[in-house]
Structure 1
Amino acid sequence: MPPLLLLSFVVAYFIILLAVAWYTGKNSTNDSFFIGNRNSNWMLVAFGMIGTSLSGVTFVSVPGTVSTNGFYYMQVVFGYLLGYIVVAFVLMPLYYKLQLTSIYNYLQNRFGFIAYKTGALFFIISRTVGATARLYLVINVLQIFILDQMGIPFWLTSIVILIMILLYTFEGGVKTIVFTDTLQTSFMLIGLVVCVLYIMHHLQLSFSGTIQQLQLKGYTHFFNTDINSKGFFLKQIIGGAFITIAMTGLDQEMMQKNISVKTLKGAQTNMLSFSVIIVLVNFLFLLLGGLLYLFAAQNGLNYTGDDLFPTIALHYLPKAVSMIFIIGLISALFPSADGALTALTSSFCIDILGIRRGQLAENQQKKIRQNVHLTFTIIFLICIFVFKIINSKSIINVILDLAGYTYGPLLGLFAFGIFSKKILKESYAITFVCLIAPVLGYFLEKLIPNLTGGFKIGIELLLINGLLTYLGLWLIAKPAVKQQK
């Protein structure tokens, strides 16, 4: 399909997003931007969260892992399911009880100002790195397969796409992205299903025939029983659960949408519905990956990793399927990026600047919020250029590794607040513990294979960093004050 025609679909898609943003952003206030006036429909939030959670990384990177890892990624997905249950029944009741706009206000209520700021800072770092890694992957695919052929440089592509995202999130915030994410998730899932069905039809395979062929190729292994492997199933399931607890339950972006639902019951229903769907959708992506490798083998192609899906979709499938792939890809791009940009703006304004404490008028707050929103757009651009320099061919592994270091301290902070009765003195020792834990975790990751004869730390790195943070906080904490009868 000609690059100019593909680009026209991208532009048309963006115009639709702008129209939705204009309609939903009318008469928006700061409450609309931050928490959607606590009036979001739980079904819309649940469905839209699928796109936010999956992103372009799942759309492009997960299918590419099948040749080397089979269906082992489902181990992590089963862990996600356990994690969502914990978020729904442990963290959500806490957030609703305290009527939080920023979930990091819990740390202020429990430990004080410094813990609160430290938690918010780690979220800002974590989400900035994770969101820009996901954004880079999709921009790079668009660049390689469409825009390079038109002579448009990578830096210009990145700037234009970030301006697009900035424009439609600038006014409405959460109120807007609840609707745009629903629209984009629909297009992404349509793209996934169409590609699966077309390749099955092209290969003349039924669903059972597809599974049989994948078994012959050795792709359908779900559980890795090698205890020394980074992919050992217990490590993957436990790691997946804690990744969900940290990257959803302790993440302002994900919880910002959930606490915009009017009631706790509605938010919990949203989370549980979403968790079941996410398992099925991830299985479909792995099934697609297996089909893509079968298609490549039949046609003598030698593409792997992140290059597999876009190359086959844009060069070896019919034009109509190529068009659907592009729409699905950009639908996977925007939900993760727009939500992250909005959540980072909210967290910085509320948690770092404290603009919602009644100190400023509504119009002054809005001006500060918009300036912060613009600043984070520029930061996103810089980070995208850094990932371009790194140029990893498997971004999903990079994201999971980074999450282990950046979300671990958040996990430790919240766990200490919920499960310990001890009190933390208002001190920067809290920040020091949260900074030193990932450093110790890094050295442990490098030393343990040598000390154990080959045992490798994998996805459970997040849990290790969380435990190190918890231990450090326990060492500097004071016993709880006993109430006199």
Structure 2
Amino acid sequence: MRILDWLVIITYAVGMLAIGQYYARRNKTTDDYMLGGRRMSPFAVGLSLFATLTSALSYLAVPGEMIKHGPMQLVQYAAFPLIGIVVGWGLIPFIMRQRASSAYEMLEQRFGISVRLVGATMFLTMRLAWMAAILYATSDKVLAPMLGLGPQATVLASVVMCVITLIYTAEGGLRAVVLTDAVQSLIMLGGAAAVIVLVTVDLGGVSAWWPHQWAAHWDAPRFGFDATTRITFLGMIMSAFGWYVCTFGSDQMAIQRWLSTRDTSAARRSLFTTLVSEALVGILLGLVGLSLVGYFTKHPELFTESASLVTGADRLFPRFVMVGLPAGMTGVIIAAVLAAAMSSLSSGMNSSSLVITEDFIVRFRKSPLADASRMKLARWISAGIGIAVILISLLVSRIEGNLLDVCFRAVNLLTAPLFVLFFMAMFVRWATTFGALVAALASVATAVCIAYSASFGLPPISIMWIMPGSFAAGVVSGSLASLLPVGLPSKSTARGKPSNTEE
């Protein structure tokens, strides 16, 4: 790290804080603070959601996955047209008809308060683990090896990154989050493109790093569905379709983005912006992985004991940033990784703060809170979330596997179970409160069994089956349980019309 690199990073951090301060003076109401006044630009919102979902985990995991296991994971983008149709015309119209702030308020309208609290709790559990994993990956996989930090200094770096994110998030609300996310998405795009260009120049052309045959250490390509194979063509498409549909249809971070736009048409444009950005940057990051294989194959002397094509694939991108970039560019790439991390952290903090405020505090107050008090409460809750995330991040290192495995086994474990509740509310006409609760329980149990099948003495099952398996188990169990004469039947029909008000 040279002085120019530090100047780039400091300029980036100051810019993020300035955006938070700018919007802090422009939030007049709770709707402004939490939903941007419901009139935000669809393009900015789409970039924001893309930056949110493309965390530092993804930014590091995709090149590492490409280096170690090959390009099979890129086939997920074949599912994007179908995702656009299902979410754009199947889910977003329902969501935009609800004048809610919290996504889980919609569950109460159909099933009552108990299901709302279950949904909100699942979201908070999932996103706290997700933010903790981001902090761990960024500090342990990037900052530590690149800056030569010891364990204590790594924790300090995590704290500093978390505090900076917390300040601009708590001050500026969703408007600051969306604008910083949009800026960060451009930094991520530029960082990935810069690596490819620099490697290409160093090696003398694209053909020098483009693979001309399937590498011996890559997973053999498989087309069909196979629960024992880590990744197959159809399995990856199914998993990607399930993850994006579940996330876009039940995660507060996504639903909050849709609700911040003017109408259904604007929300759809945001969705398409997100999908195009995801595909573009995902493919670029895959190419980063391929280019790094060529770079380190030509420069084997740059390998370290913990960085090789097979045993340390996740560390090669940070290693290249250390040894392969000119002054200033190292700072740009580090800023890109920090942007990936901080965009996700800011959205997670903002959405989690809203859920805790609306679903657990305001919902049970006998007297309403004034806008100023509500925004102040949300800011204090954001601070508490930041502290919790730092503490949880210390436990993430215990999960085995590469970063993609960590994403699926810990971060995405509750993605499908949470969507099951919304699916029951929208599409299962006979669903009851009891059936929804059974669906959630069955879905979570199935996700855990698949993710940790080997630990339970079961045959190993591919992580690609976590979401489709848990979704199917939840919907089938919940639909059957709703036929039992247990509890009060839902008074609504499908599509989320108001129902029983269970207290």
Q: TM-score, normalised by structure 2?
A: 0.86
Query: Is 1:328 the counterpart of 2:328 in the alignment?
Result: no
CA deviation after TM superposition for structure 1 residue 475, in Å: 3.1
The alignment of Structure 1 onto Structure 2 pairs a total of residues equal to: 476
Q: Does 1:225 align with 2:199?
A: no
Q: CA deviation at 1:33?
A: 2.1
The equivalent residue for 2:467 is 462
User: 3-state SS of the aligned residue for 1:27?
Assistant: coil
| Letter paired with 2:259 | I
Deviation at 1:110, TM superposition (A): 1.4
Pairing 1:282-431 to 2, within 5 Å after superposition: 282-300=282-300, 301=303, 303=308, 304-354=312-362, 359-388=368-397, 390=398, 394-425=402-433, 430-431=436-437
Structure 1 298/221 Cα, relative in aligned 2: closer, same or farther at 3 Å?
same
Deviating more after overlay: 67-76 vs 196-205: 67-76
Whole-angstrom distance in 1 between the partners of 2:400 and 2:455: 24
The CA deviation at 1:451 is 11
Show CA shifts across 1:58-101 (max 9, x none): 22121011233211111233335533432221111111112222
Change (3 A) 1:212 1:107: same
Give the TM-score normalised by the residue count of structure 1: 0.89
Match of 2:120 in 1: 120
Q: Does the 8 Å contact 1:71/1:219 carry over to 2?
A: no
Matched-pair contact (CA < 8 Å) for 1:236–1:460: no
- Counterparts in 2 of 1:130-279, with a 5 A limit? 130-149=130-149, 153-206=153-206, 209=207, 212-215=210-213, 217=215, 224-225=222-223, 227=226, 228-279=228-279
What is the letter of the counterpart of residue 326 of structure 1? I
Alpha-carbon offset, residue 212 of structure 1: 4.8
| CA offset digits 1:309-346 (Å, max 9, x no partner) | 01011123322332221121111111111001100001
Q: Which residue matches 2:52?
A: 52
Matching residue's letter, 2:471: G
What do residues 372-428 of structure 1 show as CA deviations (whole Å, max 9, x unaligned)? 11111111111111124x275622221122355312221221111222111414x6x
Stretches of structure 1 that go unaligned for 5 or more consecutive residues are none
What is the match of residue 26 of structure 1? 25
- SS in structure 1 at match of 2:325: coil
Q: Are the counterparts in 1 of residues 95 and 255 from structure 2 also a CA contact under 8 Å?
A: no
Asked if the contact 1:17–1:168 (Cα under 8 Å) also holds between the matched residues in 2, the reply is: yes
Deviation at 1:266, TM superposition (A): 1.1
**1:471 to 2:476 alignment:** yes
Secondary structure in 2 matching 1:459: helix
Secondary structure (helix, strand or coil) at the match of 2:172 reads: coil
Shift of 1:450: 11
**Which residue identity lines up with residue 72 of structure 2 in the other structure?**
Y
Question: Tell me, what secondary structure is at the counterpart of 1:230?
Answer: coil
1:180–1:445 distance in 2 versus 1, CA, 3 Å: closer
Q: Which secondary structure does the structure 2 equivalent of 1:100 belong to?
A: coil
Cα RMSD for the two superposed structures:
3.0
Inter-partner Cα distance in structure 2 for 1:244 and 1:145: 32
The reply on whether 1:280 has 2:267 as its aligned counterpart is no
Instruction: Give the 3 Å change call, closer, same or farther, for CA 391–321 of structure 1 in structure 2.
Output: farther
* 238-247 or 147-156, larger mean C-alpha shift: 147-156
Aligned identity (percent) is 20
Does residue 9 (structure 1) correspond to residue 12 (structure 2)? The answer is no
CA distance in 1, matches of 2:73, 2:135: 21
CA distance in 2: counterparts of 1:290 and 1:255, whole angstroms: 35
**One-letter code aligned to 1:476:** A
SS of residue paired to 2:461: coil
Q: SS at the partner of 1:231?
A: coil
User: CA contact under 8 A between 2:46 and 2:270: conserved in structure 1?
Assistant: yes
- The one-letter amino acid paired with 1:274 is T
Q: Take 1:205 and 1:48, find their aligned partners in 2: how far apart are those partners?
A: 34
Indicate if the aligned counterparts of 2:123 and 2:251 stay in contact, CA closer than 8 A.
yes
